[in-house]
Structure 1
């Protein structure tokens, strides 16, 4: 399994530290999925959960889009994977989903998020409110790190179940 991640620096300004931790966690999910077949990526955790590595990639593509495009930049783009009709479609509908499409969509959303993020100060307030409250670009970055960290824990367990591979 190839691991091209660059460890986050132990020193640096706030933006550098936040961006590097977010990149570390984005890379961690990619590492957890590396080298697996579509069939392996679709393997579910344990009932009643419908979680799989492919579902996590689809979910994180949605999360990147929701926070950066919708909340931070007020872009009018549709929700991914049929989530308008079913909230867990990103996790539930992986049996026939294309891994290639999911990874390409995830990477496109990451690139879009990087571009938006680079153009804004950390104290910029999102153009849309979340549950009636404003949130800053800084808060969104911290939340994204938390979201990836939580789901990377799930990815650790899923990968270990698939082929025994463990690691940071």
Structure 2
């Protein structure tokens, strides 16, 4: 279907995301599954297969080995949502609102003490308009596309947790 997968680039790869595909790699290797994402650096594909027993299998096909990608079917809205949410952490936070308010205030104060610009926006903390911290305000609750800032803020929050008895 394409000449050289790794040379196509992200704009062409995105056309295959959320589709059930068959990937041919190497001489006799063939994988089928829902294409969850493509790594923009290595062109590697992440295929997800939802088994009937309720389990999920994930396969990574290295981009350099891909010879052909064929679309078998498009995801309907239900499947697209399942793919979108399958690997997100569960948002079940069993802390009461007062504890969450205390944690949010503690993290905000700690970041300010460490000269990090932080503002409260509803239940979230925003750091320099490039990072968001959601409840329950731990290192794993940080979200940013800037890996350097993400790593530094996560380490700061981890230091707060380690020093807080």
TM-score over 0.5 for the pair: no
- Greater strand content: 2
> Using CA pairs below 8 Å that are at least 6 residues apart, which structure has the higher relative contact order?
1
Larger helix share, 1 or 2: 1
Q: Which has the larger radius of gyration?
A: 2
Q: Normalising to structure 1: TM-score of the pair?
A: 0.24
TM-score (norm 2): 0.25
